[in-house]
């Protein structure tokens, strides 16, 4: 999606011909009479109204308009976090283009998607791979699109990464110049350098599902999985999987799974404990060498 907005979103490069507009304005508390004011998500087939405690309300329209009603106390960095996450993630869902939760890296063969539920070490892995000079498509949301030949491609998204102070310190980034991603959250928003962003859409060649368990050895354990396990893990690793049911997109999810399994092999990956390495960079280089060899 090409986006037009007054917010200073950290795009990887300039795009012409925006098909999504984001504006700030009044958003109703109820989408239509069939919903109560206590429902966080309301959907009528063409529009979705979403309420988020930290950020306010979003009104999304399939035609390509997102209206945000942020509290006056919300800072611009927090508004950017909300827009890049809830706003654009839900717009992808609304349009039936189901996003995945994780990161994707660029290789000479194509894109490897690395998917994970929260708490599995995705941010640590992203930091380490960046330090190992691996190009990344974006943070948190993996945006997919099927091309005219039926191939699923990963598209570069945005440069804003959500990293902890420890991770930023490993990259020698001064956090005093950064803002946290949301009120009360101990992660900072940092725009990665352009040279570490993937420059173009690439076909998916491998799908990796991160395991939460850590290994005592210094090599990651990467194991192939069958189609049933791949399907189960993919469902869990959708960005906000409950939206599949809310937007009645079960058919689109099954199609996504079918295409992905036909296109590439799927694996689970257990990561080593980072404490066994001298640096995040060394950690990233070891993991990258295994991923690139698949």
pLDDT tens readout for residues 88-125: 999 999 999 999 999 999 999 999 999 998 888 899 99
Contact between 140 and 189 under an 8 Å Cβ cutoff? The reply is: no
Closest CA to 180 of 279, 78, 69: 78
Q: How far apart are CA 27 and CA 91, in angstroms?
A: 16
Average pLDDT value for residue range 250-277: 96
Which distant-in-sequence residues (6+ apart) come within 8 Å of 139 by Cβ?
103, 126, 157, 158, 160, 161, 162
Structure tokens at 164: 């902890």
Q: How far apart are CA 86 and CA 212, in angstroms?
A: 24
Q: What is the pLDDT of residue 39?
A: 76
Whole-angstrom CA distances from 229 to 225, 261, 268 are 6, 11, 10
Q: How far apart are CA 293 and CA 283, in angstroms?
A: 16
Q: How far apart are CA 188 and CA 202, in angstroms?
A: 28
Q: For a pLDDT cut of 90, what percent of the chain falls above it?
A: 82
Q: How far apart are CA 173 and CA 69, in angstroms?
A: 32
Sign of CA dihedral 185, 186, 192, 196: negative
Which distant-in-sequence residues (6+ apart) come within 8 Å of 53 by Cβ?
none
Average pLDDT value for residue range 58-85: 93
Contact between 150 and 259 under an 8 Å Cβ cutoff? The reply is: yes
pLDDT tens readout for residues 3-58: 889 888 887 776 667 889 999 999 998 887 677 766 789 998 899 999 988 899 99
Closest CA to 190 of 234, 159, 233: 159
Kindly report the average pLDDT of the chain as a whole number.
92
Average pLDDT value for residue range 114-138: 93
Phi, psi (degrees; rounded to nearest 5) at 268? -105, 155
């Amino acid at each position: 999606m090409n986006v037009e907005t007054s917010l200073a979103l950290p795009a990887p490069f300039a795009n012409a011909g925006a098909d999504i507009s984001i504006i700030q304005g009044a958003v109703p508390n109820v989408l239509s009479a069939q919903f109560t004011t206590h429902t966080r998500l309301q959907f009528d087939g063409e529009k979705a109204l979403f309420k988020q405690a930290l950020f306010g309300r979003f009104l999304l329209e399939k035609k390509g308009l997102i209206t945000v009603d942020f509290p006056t106390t919300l800072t611009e960095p927090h508004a950017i976090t909300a827009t890049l996450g809830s706003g654009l993630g839900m717009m992808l869902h609304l349009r039936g283009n189901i996003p995945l939760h994780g990161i994707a890296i660029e290789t000479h063969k194509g894109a490897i998607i690395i998917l994970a539920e929260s708490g599995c070490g995705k941010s640590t892995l992203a930091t380490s791979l960046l330090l190992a000079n691996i190009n990344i498509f974006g943070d948190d949301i993996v945006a997919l699109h099927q091309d005219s030949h039926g191939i699923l491609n990963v598209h570069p998204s945005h440069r804003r990464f959500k990293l902890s102070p420890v991770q930023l310190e490993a990259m020698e980034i001064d956090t005093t110049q950064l803002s946290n991603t949301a009120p009360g959250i101990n992660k900072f928003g940092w725009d990665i350098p352009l040279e570490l962003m993937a420059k173009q859409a690439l076909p998916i060649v491998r799908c990796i599902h991160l395991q939460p368990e850590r290994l005592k050895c210094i090599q990651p354990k990467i194991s192939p999985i069958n189609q049933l396990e791949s399907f189960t893990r993919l469902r869990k690793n959708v960005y906000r999987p409950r939206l599949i049911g809310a937007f009645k997109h079960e058919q689109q999810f099954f199609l996504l799974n079918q295409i992905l399994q036909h296109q590439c092999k799927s694996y689970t990956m257990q990561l080593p404990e980072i404490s066994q390495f001298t640096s995040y960079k060394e950690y990233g280089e070891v993991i990258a060498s295994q991923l690139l060899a698949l």
